[in-house]
Amino acid sequence: MNVLLLTSHSIAEYDDLRMLHDLGYDVFSIGAYTDPASPSDDKRPALPDVPYYADLAERCERQRAAYGDPGPNIDWAKARLHPDVIDWADVIIVHHFVDRWIGEQWPRISHKRVIWRTCGQSNPDLEHYMGGFVPHGLEIVRYSPAEARHFGEQGNFAGQSALIRFGKYIEDYGGWTGNDPVVGNVTQHMAQRGDACGYHFWMDATRGLPTAPAGPGSDALADGEGAKPYGQLLAYLRRIRAYLYTGTTPASYTLGLLEALLTGTPTVSIGAEAWGDGWGGAALFEGHELVRPGFDDPRRAHDALLSLLTDRTMAEELSVSQREYAQATFGTDVIGPQWKAFLG
């Protein structure tokens, strides 16, 4: 079975391309991993065992040259799929910009099996719009049950064909030591993006505590360590004593959270009400449910973090319980068979 993968997030692309290939599918991804052995983004490693379809890649370049500046379409190779790429695909799985990459070219791709794989970027208008394609064959694979809860309450839920969470290779993670008694976090440009990334909650919950946030733009925060290559990121998650997850709207949970939990980094989360305050989306958040505990009051989060910094035994117990839950919920040994059953 030939699977065409369209994302705009190289880490999600890496995870899905690797997993689908290991499940036995032939996968072509238009993005950073078009050439899996030489990805254009270094956030995750190369995938030299995944085939490179040079002829399909050349067709993508034709589309970019033909249509010029992508503008709001992001990438014409995805927004206007070449006929040869469509012909090759048996299944088309789309994560991002589905209104353009699915909706606007639906007449050209509707004879294929088309799947919207949600990834935390939906909204009421998009749910309403994409729901119109479901009677005509669109399938929707949800990454979180919180989407049904939230959009169902609003009356605009587009439905779901399956619920399959994000999958991670658990053998890539682990080895937490917590030898550095600081509170960490990995977010892209938290200070610059403000409360869309829980900036004020972070500042209030960590006031007076030793911190070492990481990720692009984290140098704008006190003791920020900046962006880290993948190997250094794994080492960072292993050494920090505690992790404060502040969420990223509108995602119910993020891949960064999963990597912290699978490493075994003891994690405290912002609560749903604090996350959804001003966004009208408390029911859409799931981070606090995956982490347990989650706090709406940053002072209580502060106290929980302080306990982890000062009580090694407590930190070790939370590390074990959270990692076991994450492995059972997000490991590819669980998620892979779900995809296999769904795709056939």
The mean pLDDT of 245-256, rounded to a whole number, is: 96
How much is the pLDDT for 279? 63
pTM: 0.96
Q: Which of 112, 98, 92 is nearest to 27 (CA)?
A: 92
Are residues 161 and 232 located together in one domain of the fold? Answer: no
How much is the pLDDT for 280? 65
Residue 212 clears pLDDT 70, i.e. is over it:
yes
For residue 73, CA distances in Å to 44, 47, 83, 96 come to 25, 27, 18, 11
Range of the domain at 135: 2-168+332-343
Residue 278 clears pLDDT 80, i.e. is over it:
no
Residue 316 clears pLDDT 90, i.e. is over it:
yes
Are residues 43 and 162 located together in one domain of the fold? Answer: yes
Are residues 266 and 180 located together in one domain of the fold? Answer: yes
Is the Cα dihedral 329, 332, 335, 337 positive or negative?
A: negative
Are residues 121 and 178 located together in one domain of the fold? Answer: no
d(CA 254, CA 275): 13
Are residues 26 and 128 located together in one domain of the fold? Answer: yes
Q: Which of 14, 241, 283, 248 is nearest to 256 (CA)?
A: 248
Are residues 299 and 337 located together in one domain of the fold? Answer: no
Residue 269 clears pLDDT 70, i.e. is over it:
yes
Could you report the per-residue pLDDT of 57-109, keeping only the tens digit for each?
999 999 999 999 888 889 999 999 999 999 999 999 999 999 999 999 999 99
The DSSP secondary structure of 68-94, one letter per residue, reads ---GGGS-HHHHT--HHHHHH-SEEEE
Are residues 207 and 112 located together in one domain of the fold? Answer: no
Are residues 21 and 103 located together in one domain of the fold? Answer: yes
Average pLDDT over the chain reads: 96
Minimum mean pLDDT range among 75-89, 181-195, 271-285, 292-306? 271-285
Number of domains in the chain: 2
The mean pLDDT of 23-46, rounded to a whole number, is: 97
* CATH label of the domain that carries residue 37: 3.40.50.11930
Are residues 32 and 164 located together in one domain of the fold? Answer: yes
Are residues 184 and 49 located together in one domain of the fold? Answer: no
Share of the chain above pLDDT 70, in %: 99
* Tokens 């909706």, located at residue: 103
d(CA 14, CA 308): 33
d(CA 12, CA 92): 16
Q: Is 13 helix (H, G, I), strand (E, B) or coil?
A: helix
Are residues 294 and 178 located together in one domain of the fold? Answer: yes
Are residues 265 and 202 located together in one domain of the fold? Answer: yes
* CATH label of the domain that carries residue 270: 3.40.50.2000
Indicate the length of the chain as a whole number: 344
